[in-house]
Amino acid sequence: MKILFPTDGSAHSLAALRSLMSRFKWFAETPQIALINVHPHLPYARAVAWVGKEAASRYYAEESHAALAPASAILAESGIPHEQVAKIGEPAHEIVRHAGEWNADLVAMGRHGHSPIAGLFMGSVAQKVLAIVTIPVLLLP
């Protein structure tokens, strides 16, 4: 079983990871885990040209590392092997794309606490993933 777990490094995301880990007993073997963080493109199109490609790349790498490190530490403390993936782009599309490329069996992710009604108006990465992914999604509290 290959599980893709999107994380933004937030407390909610880490709680969702712990919730997922408590469900590992559902599986005959410990699943393969890939943590993914997708950083949106800089909002101003000319920002990369203004700050330079190297500075923008360093920014993306630092932000992704900061988002992935807490979840990676939790898995490492429990002795759970995993990989880390950093992407840049629209989060839901990159999550779904990587799930396909990696041949994930499941995407497990937090809901970020939005109620279904609020989600209708605000949208969320989880809702977008649900709308476009072709594999099961486990939404965690």
Residue 95: C-alpha distances to residues 50, 62, 106 (Å): 28, 19, 11
Check: CB of residue 75 under 8 Å from CB of residue 33: yes
pLDDT for 112? 72
Digit-coded pLDDT (tens) for 81-124: 999 999 999 999 999 999 999 999 999 999 875 445 545 543 48
pLDDT for 136? 97
pLDDT for 111? 82
Domain spanning 2-140: which CATH class is it, in words? alpha beta
Digit-coded pLDDT (tens) for 11-60: 999 999 999 999 999 999 999 999 999 998 877 666 766 677 788 889 89
Digit-coded pLDDT (tens) for 48-64: 666 777 888 898 999 99
Averaged pLDDT for residues 3-16: 95
pTM: 0.89
Q: Torsion over CA of 55, 43, 112 and 75, rounded to 10 degrees?
A: -20
> What are the residue ranges spanned by the domains of the chain?
2-140
pLDDT for 53? 76
Averaged pLDDT for residues 69-76: 98
Strands (E), the chain: 2-6, 32-39, 82-88, 106-110, 137-140
